[in-house]
Amino acid sequence: MAFPIALQNLMNSLVNLADTVMIGRLGTVEIAAVGIGNNVFFLYNIVLFGICSGGAIFTAQFWGKGDIPGIRRNTGFCLLLAIILGLMFTAAVFFIPEEIMGIYSRDPAVIKAGGVYLHTLALSFIPFAIGQVFFLSLRSIEKLKLPMYCTFVALGINVGLNYLLIFGIGPFPTMGVEGAALGTVCARLTEAVLLVAISYGRKYALAGTVWEMTGFNRFYVGRFLRVCLPVILNEIIWSTGITTQNIIFARSGTEAIAAFNITNTFSQLTWALFIGLGNGVAILIGKKIGAGDQAGARDYAARIIRFAPMIACGAVLVLVPLSRFLPVIFNVNDTVLSAAGVMLVILSISYPFRAFNMSMVVGICRAGGDTVFCTIYDTVFMWFLALPLAAAASYFFHAPSPLIYLCLNSEESCKCFLGLWRYRSGKWLHNVIEGI
């Protein structure tokens, strides 16, 4: 179950890397404009993910209970919220793109190029919202291959059209950043159409009529919001923390941020497996809870908190030897290479702790509807330990970048104690669909 999810995340990472390389060939202004434009999309995606992943908790438990009408009501309500959010972002980005760019940049050239990019990209927001709802709902009912195949097709279209439209290959016009945005629109639209059409064509559990998908009541809506709002808040606070990490390194110097970005590139690629593990076990645990099998849910939880850190120890065998190939892969100076090599070692050592925490947040607590604790668990140590330590090391002590990176990773080991306490207490397990 984890493999298709991990592969899908890996494909997204690789295609984003390819997109960045293609846009980077246009020049500094273009890559800055697209980077800022994608920050707007990132904010939209974070809130949307909070809605969809919160809804997936209900879908998995309905699936375990065998409540098909419940799955369809939940899918319909998630679609309603996602489309409303999509309309809000679409309207803002479509009609005032340059004003939004002006929040991030004062460079007129960047604002103009970014405005063109966002104006076109806005057309992808609604299809992306529909696609995300179907993605996570299909995962929750154990239909994992369809989302993976649709992602493969859509992202192939994205890369192909980007190449043709950005550079004007053959009969296609040279559109630059607008071409990149148009490629994304076509990819997201294709993705959404395939997901919806195949889901209804195969009569999957989430494929209901309009009446079936709008049959929710006030009690269900209240329960849904109580579970999902902490997830949305969690994602917003966490993503702000990630942005703050980048700011700390950027202000520590060009060489520091370069080493940090190199380390993060490898981290994102290897971390796809653990995201897949967390999401996969969340489906299994949610299904057990919905079926009323609390003992089975606890058994899966006990297995994943042992299995994920054990697998993560293998990261040492990959990342440490990989650090020796950095001079071949990256054309940067020796100081950056040395710092990145040490940071990869720190990353590999922290992986077992990271894997445990990922399993607790995504695989256990969210699957059990324990979303308020997740928000505390996932953000408090970041904001009150890791970020202050890293900021102090950078701004006051002018520490080398590996030491700053070690400070950022300090939260992982500390969080484990809180996570282990919560797991043993059993308070993470809630049947969120009971009574609805």
What are the residue boundaries of the structural domains of the chain, listed by start? 2-216, 229-425
CA torsion sign for 309, 311, 314, 319 is negative
Q: What is the pLDDT of residues 335-378, one digit of tens each?
A: 888 998 899 889 989 999 999 999 999 899 999 999 999 999 99
Two tokens, residue 278: 């967390």
pLDDT at 269 over 80: no
How far apart, in whole angstroms, are the C-alpha atoms of residue 108 and residue 136? Answer: 39
pTM: 0.86
Higher pLDDT, 330 or 392: 392
- Residue 98 near residue 33, CB atoms below 8 Å: no
Which structure tokens are listed for 4? 């298709």
> Could you report the per-residue pLDDT of 397-415, keeping only the tens digit for each?
999 999 999 999 999 999 9
The whole-number pLDDT of residue 383 equals: 96
pLDDT value of position 140: 94
The DSSP element (H or E) to which 98 belongs, if any, is: helix 97-104
pLDDT in tens, 281-316: 999 999 999 999 999 999 999 999 999 999 888 877
Maximum mean pLDDT: which of 14-18, 59-63, 270-274, 315-319: 59-63
Mean confidence (pLDDT) of the chain: 89
Contact yes or no for 181/121 (Cβ under 8 A): yes
pLDDT of residue 73: 95
**Cβ–Cβ < 8 Å for 418, 356:** no
What's the pLDDT score for residue 313?
Answer: 86
Report the alpha-carbon distance of residue 350 to residue 412 in Å, rounded: 7
340: which 2 tokens?
């990145």
Dump pLDDT digits (tens) for 197-233: 999 999 999 999 999 999 888 899 999 999 999 998 9
Q: Exposed, middle or buried: residue 43 (CB in 10 Å: 0-12, 13-18, 19+)?
A: middle
Mean pLDDT, residues 240-246 taken together: 86
DSSP string, 295-323: HHHHHHHHHHHHHHHHHHTHHHHHHHHHG
What ranges in 141-253 are assigned the alpha helix state H?
A: 145-167, 177-201, 210-213, 218-250
**26 in Cβ contact with 176 (< 8 Å):** yes
Q: What pLDDT is attached to residue 13? A: 66
**Predicted confidence (pLDDT) per residue in 126-161, tens digit:** 999 999 999 999 999 999 899 999 989 998 999 999
